[in-house]
Chain A
Amino acid sequence: GAVVSQHPSRVICKSGTSVKIECRSLDFQATTMFWYRQFPKKSLMLMATSNEGSKATYEQGVEKDKFLINHASLTLSTLTVTSAHPEDSSFYICSARGRTGRMEYEQYFGPGTRLTVT
């Protein structure tokens, strides 16, 4: 089956620093990747959609200058939280959809990254 990895799984950083989270599709080409944010015991909130080789599309209310998304290849997207503050502490989850050959893959989710900003 399709596997999506995220790195790191957990990160603690100081307020004001930037943090990069990687999302990789391991066995299929991810034409589209999605980034979500999840608060404790809450649903997932879509932050942005990224297509390989083009700029990410951000959902309303999400600061594009704060949450930088890059989708440089068909297997890698990165989310950089710039000048992180404690209110950015959250669980960030990516998902990927795409294809390998004639096989289409619906959204498969990474294991998530727990970000804590102190």
Chain B
Amino acid sequence: AQSVAQPEDQVNVAEGNPLTVKCTYSVSGNPYLFWYVQYPNRGLQFLLKYITGDNLVKGSYGFEAEFNKSQTSFHLKKPSALVSDSALYFCAVRANDYKLSFGAGTTVTVRA
């Protein structure tokens, strides 16, 4: 079975500071990893994905994620957070049948 874990329910940062949202994964075989963001009462927006290739993946809105095989992690990062980045973030892993398994989600609050 494939799964991801997001160890933090909440992350609070000040605007302009670096933002990191943690995700670890457990898969058999090659991991297909995703990050999504959800704003209140909205669907999920795709941020980025790792399939293969460079360990540093760049995505939308200035976000990036680093795939670390030895630590089985896929942390989401942004060098300088904005108040508008405040949202619910989900890490997900894709199985061979294209089903996604989501982490519990991390609520990010960026204070002005």
Interface positions of A (Cβ within 8 A of B): 4, 6, 32, 34, 41-44, 46, 49, 91, 93, 95, 97, 106-112, 114
Contacts and interface: CB of A to CB of B under 8 A. Distances in A.
B31 interface: no
Interface string B11-38: 0000000000000000000000010100
Interface residues of B, number: 22
A112 B99 contact: no
Contacts, number: 50
B105 A107 contact: no
A34 B46 CA distance: 15
A43 B90 CA distance: 8
Interface of B: 34, 36, 41-46, 49, 88, 90, 94, 97-105, 107
